Amino acid sequence: AAARKKAAAAAAAAAPDIGEIFSARHETGPEGLSFDEATATLLTASAETAHGVAAADAADALLRAAQAEVDALVPGTNPKLLPKALKWCSTNAAALCSLLDLPAASGGSGAVRPTLGLARLRLLQLLVTLVSAKRPVLSSALAACQPPPASRAATLLEHFAAASLLQVAALALVRASLLGGSRALREATLSGSWAFHHSVVAALAPELA
């Protein structure tokens, strides 16, 4: 019991303050976004607006917060307990994954081709961070998303095959899901009738052999 209390105290001391994360200034990131503002923006975004600046700023802020919390996780602590940003992500995993989807084509000769957008790249990076946390609650939430995150990443690759940054992010997500994720997440990643983009398969083949 004493050891558990000591580990819990160490985790609390190491956990970054969520307010400091969101109010800190970053040379390349949005400034002044509160946790509530960032999460509210993402919850009200849709496939049609996920390429916009507001969604990109919010996704970037949440990514930095989640990464800071993952970096501060203390080995040996209760894996079911999550700090604030990671807990929010586990609760809203389905909503986050849905923002990777492209808007439905409106049809017609004047239809505008969907834009990838920085927000979707940041969301892919966020999902990699969540998988790398190796927390059962997060893995279960991601495994429950349909289609699974890696499937959505592969679909994006089909539409934006020339986007090198997307290829890197999608490859990282597939690798993390298959090689570092839970059994449920691996099974969800491999399920369904879809196929990974050829570049993902080729890059991962040596590791999966």
> 146, 167, 165, 147: which is closest to 157 by C-alpha?
167
- Asked if 95 contacts 50 with a C-beta cutoff of 8 angstroms, the reply is no
pLDDT tens digits, 123-141: 999 999 999 998 999 999 9
pLDDT at 178 over 60: yes
Average pLDDT of span 135-155: 89
DSSP 23-75: HS--SSS--S--HHHHHHHHHH--TTTTTSHHHHHHHHHHHHHHHHHHHHPPT
The per-residue pLDDT for 96 is 95
Q: What is the pLDDT of residue 29?
A: 42
Query: What is the band of 36 on the pLDDT scale with cuts at 50, 70, 90?
Result: very high
Contact 120, 171 (CB under 8 A): no
Are 116 and 59 contacting, i.e. CB atoms less than 8 angstroms apart? no
77 close to 11: Cβ distance less than 8 angstroms: yes
Using the predicted structure, report yes or no on whether residue 12 has a pLDDT greater than 70.
Answer: no
Spatial distance between the Cα atoms of 21 and 137, rounded to a whole number of angstroms: 23
Identity (one letter) of the amino acid at 157?
Answer: L
Structure tokens at 71: 């970096």
Residues 6+ apart with CB under 8 A from 187: 143
pLDDT of residue 179: 81
The predicted model scores a pTM of 0.78
Confidence of residue 43 (pLDDT cuts 50, 70, 90): very high
Residues 6+ apart with CB under 8 A from 14: 72, 74
Q: Which of 22-31, 100-109, 165-174 has the lowest mean pLDDT?
A: 22-31
Average pLDDT, the chain: 78
Give dist(CA 66, CA 90) in Å, integer. 11
As a whole number of Å, the end-to-end CA separation of the chain is: 44
Residue 30 has pLDDT above 80, yes or no: no
Length of the chain: 209
Q: Which two tokens stand for residue 7?
A: 């580990």
Query: Across residues 111-130, what is the average pLDDT?
Result: 85
